[in-house]
Structure 1
Amino acid sequence: MKIISVVGRKNSGKTTLIERMIPLFRAQGLAVAVIKHDAHDFSIDQKGKDTWRFRQAGADEVVIASSSQVAHMRRLEAPIEVADILSRLESPDLVILEGYKRLGFPKLVVLRDAAELADMGLERESTVIGFVLRRTPNANPPDSRVPRFWADEVDRIAGFVLDKLGAAAVGRRS
């Protein structure tokens, strides 16, 4: 299993980049999983629906399953470790983490502006493998030996990720 983090500030384009890379990875035969970090308390439940009612009644875990998908909700006493989440996945070839900038996985840093890099505390982070910036008139890529890409160069970015992780050879699904 190969793992990469896509990190950046809110509204920097992380989700869009991941969304656009997934079909390219799938076209290479890779099974892809995405784990999104949410700093806020999210809910996938809808008020009044059965699963919401079970959780409101105090269930520690609720699973909803159909013939084509499953969702598992569990109350946590402490933040869950990424290693625990990874151990529950069905052997994907590639896992994309959205967020988790402090973990030691290779990182693509998505920036609106090069100045954000220092604000994020990643300017000297050895796990940064590339920078992705929006193509704007004032775009100023970081001065770095790390490769830099424009956000619209998705094919190039995806190819770089596969090469960097050595993931191209592990694909087995279509």
Structure 2
Amino acid sequence: MRLYGVTGWKNAGKTTLMERLVSEITGRGFSVSTVKHAHHAFDVDHPGRDSWRHREAGAREVLVASHARVALMTELRGAPEPPLEELLARLAPVDLVLIEGYKRERHPKVEAFRAVTGSPLIAREDASIRAVAADVAVALDRPVFALDDIAGIAGFILREVGL
């Protein structure tokens, strides 16, 4: 499975970059799936809905299916968060999986960097970051793209993974 990550500090533009990369890469004819890491509790379900009621009743997994989509929710109920490798194994085959977050994992990544966050550049200390997408000039020993150069960043990622 071909993997590439987008990482960076909070408010650096990771989600916007991911969204634009998915659009650009799928527009070039490649299939893409995404994995997003959240550092907080989140919910994709709504109180009162049937699936929410199933989870609240104690179901470990709830699968919701329709003509438009399938969603599988798993309640960890105190179990540890599954490692990225285990989560990736659950995905159907695609040309590329883009991963948002997971800073500490060793897959190749592009760092989203916005000066306004005041956060340091992660790439200076992390060799798994192969390029930076920034809103300011950055002196670095690897490629630096303008944060809005989506075609350039997508091309770089596709070359890196051999597509």
Q: Same fold (TM over 0.5)?
A: yes
TM-fit CA distance, 1:75: 1.3
Say if 2:99 is the partner of 1:103.
no
- Partner residue of 2:72? 72
Letter paired with 1:159: G
Distance across 2 between alignment mates of 1:140 and 1:160: 18
TM-fit CA distance, 1:153: 0.7
- Partner residue of 1:172? none
**Aligned ranges for residues 1-174 of structure 1 at < 5 Å?**
1-76=1-76, 77-113=79-115, 116-118=119-121, 120=122, 122-134=123-135, 139-141=136-138, 143-166=139-162, 168=163
Distance across 2 between alignment mates of 1:115 and 1:147: 21
Could you say what secondary structure the match of 1:64 adopts? Answer: strand
Aligned length: 160
Mind listing any 5+ residue stretches in structure 2 that lack a counterpart?
none
TM-fit CA distance, 1:4: 0.8
**How high is the TM-score relative to the length of structure 2?**
0.92
Could you say what secondary structure the match of 2:120 adopts? Answer: helix
TM-fit CA distance, 1:28: 2.5
Could you say what secondary structure the match of 1:51 adopts? Answer: helix
TM-fit CA distance, 1:71: 0.6
Could you say what secondary structure the match of 2:119 adopts? Answer: helix
Distance across 2 between alignment mates of 1:115 and 1:16: 19
Q: CA RMSD in A?
A: 1.5
Could you say what secondary structure the match of 1:84 adopts? Answer: helix
Identity value in percent: 36
Distance across 2 between alignment mates of 1:116 and 1:165: 29
**How high is the TM-score relative to the length of structure 1?**
0.86
- 1:54-102 CA distance string (max 9 Å, x none): 1111111111100121111111111111111111111011001000011
